[in-house]
Amino acid sequence: MARSNAETVEEYLAELPEDRRATVAAVRRVVLDHLPEGYVEGMRWGMITYSVPLEVSGKTYNGQPLGYVSLASQKNYVSLYLMGVHGEREQEFRAEFEATGRKLDMGKSCVRFKRLDDLPLDVIGREVARQGVVEFVAQVRAAQG
């Protein structure tokens, strides 16, 4: 499954094969358990996304809410997008992840994994909880110059 046309998270999860559904649901639970107040769960760009509503962030360059975390089942792996992981924070996140003994497969803010055991869920939970909405919006605005 590359990109879903599901309109709700429940529809998205129902589309997944059972093993992937369990993995995505478990990571979703970690995100929901650690997500600071003010972010909204929904479907954007064919994935489960936790974003800052436009009423809070104000106008964005593309007219879309600011995505903070996204979760998607791809063809050969699951992707967890952590948009707050940039610059120095990326180095810190990599060090925390790798200190668990797990191998990190990461692109630009995107952690790729095949099995739930590949993720240190405590590290993921701390990262999700790290930035409230106000801090994240300020980070995005600062990066835009």
Q: Hey, what are 74's tokens?
A: 């791809």
Query: Taking a C-beta distance cutoff of 8 angstroms, is the pair 106, 112 a contact?
Result: yes
- Helices 121-129 and 18-34, packing angle to 10 deg: 40
d(CA 59, CA 65): 9
Tell me, what's the pLDDT at 3? 72
Block residue for tokens 């600071």: 36
pLDDT confidence of residue 2: 56
CB-count burial class (<10 Å; 0-12, 13-18, 19+) for 101: exposed
Query: CA–CA separation, 14 vs 145, rounded Å?
Result: 41
Contacts of 61 (CB under 8 A, 6+ apart): 144
Provide the residue ranges of all domains of the chain, joining segments of one domain with +.
9-140
Residue-wise pLDDT tens digits, 4-15 = 888 999 999 999
**pLDDT value, residue 108:** 86
Task: Output the pLDDT for position 31.
Answer: 98
Q: Are 130 and 87 in contact (CB under 8 A)?
A: no
- Residue 121's pLDDT is 97
* Closest by CA position to 124, among listed 29, 60, 37: 29
Give the residue ranges of the chain where pLDDT is below 50.
Answer: 1
Segment 101-106 long-range contacts (CB within 8 Å, at least 24 positions apart): 105/77
Supply the pLDDT for residue 49. Answer: 97
Class level of CATH domain 9-140: alpha beta
What are 38-68's pLDDT values in tens digits?
999 999 989 999 999 989 888 888 888 999 9
